[in-house]
Amino acid sequence: MALKDLSIFTRMRQTGTLKPLSVETRNVLTRRLTPSINETEHYGVRCLLFTEHPDTGRSSIWCAYGSKLKVFNVTTWICDPNDLCFPSLIVSMCLDARFKLWVRCINGGLFVVDTLTRRCDAALVTIDGENACETIEFDRIHNHILTANRNGTITLWNASDWERLYEINLLEIYNKTHNIQERKFISRAVLTLRSPTNSSNVEKPSNRKQASFGVSNEPLNPIDIPGKNILK
């Protein structure tokens, strides 16, 4: 029904005629978010995050669009005119207990954004390298931020003072646990060389018939086979 009304509304708007819209169609038109408005480059939405401050009661949707972070007001569905820009493509986000938004970029950059003031508070130094960031999660029990990259390294950060605690390489632990090592296979051939023998010591091959049956001067006796005579 909504698609039908939208199609009719588009055609009537082009022709200049008017028609009242249903409630369902108005809801679709009202809640349609378009981050690419007034953008020269179009990107897909990589991740979304919802925040609601208990003190102010303001609810927002944080939309990672390319290297920009767009903020939408949930009540009015209007995008904030000021975008937060980062040096590279945003790949993951998470929220800690103090309503700080941790943003990871594709080049390994890690940033902390205050969701109340909507400003970047810190840009943490990482050594993950290009295309290293894969995901980020918040550990509420220990108040840690865990970031993971593609080579199996997990970095733990203190969510309060943003201090890097330590790193764990899951790939190395897996290799040590299963004793996986690179094995090299070498093919070897053993040759045995014999010295040539004298011709006098070489025995002449014996007659196969003699060797098998022996030599005898006695005449062969006839063998009687019923119905047929052989060697009379």
> Is residue 225 pLDDT above 60, yes or no?
no
How confident is the model over 100-144, as pLDDT tens digits?
Answer: 999 998 887 899 999 988 899 999 876 655 446 678 899 999 999
- Does residue 208 lie in a domain region? no
How confident is the model over 36-70, as pLDDT tens digits?
Answer: 767 777 788 888 899 988 888 888 999 998 899 99
Average pLDDT over all residues of the chain = 75
Q: Looking at 21-143, which runs of residues are DSSP E strands? A: 45-52, 59-65, 68-73, 84-85, 90-95, 100-105, 110-114, 119-124, 133-139
d(CA 120, CA 100): 10
Q: Which of 99, 58, 60, 65 minimizes the C-alpha distance to 77?
A: 60
Highest-scoring range by mean pLDDT, 16-30, 147-161, 193-207, 215-229:
147-161
Query: Exposed (0-12), middle (13-18) or buried (19+): which is 184, by Cβ within 10 Å?
Result: exposed
d(CA 111, CA 103): 5
- Does residue 131 lie in a domain region? yes
Alpha-carbon distance values, 35 to 67, 91, 198 (Å): 12, 16, 97
Tokens of 106: 């594709």
Alpha-carbon distance values, 34 to 46, 59, 200 (Å): 14, 18, 103
> What is the structure's pLDDT at 213?
45
Residue 219 CB coordination number (10 Å)? 7
- Does residue 169 lie in a domain region? yes
pTM of the model: 0.60
- Does residue 184 lie in a domain region? no
- Does residue 60 lie in a domain region? yes
Highest-scoring range by mean pLDDT, 57-66, 171-180, 212-221:
57-66
Residue 79 CB coordination number (10 Å)? 19
Cβ contact 143:165 at 8 Å: no
Number of domains in the chain: 1
- Does residue 213 lie in a domain region? no
- Does residue 217 lie in a domain region? no
Domain boundaries, position 66: 44-178
Length in residues, the chain: 232
CATH at 103 = 2.130.10.10
> What is the structure's pLDDT at 127?
60
d(CA 45, CA 165): 31
Q: Which helix (H) or strand (E) holds 4?
A: helix 2-15
- Does residue 75 lie in a domain region? yes
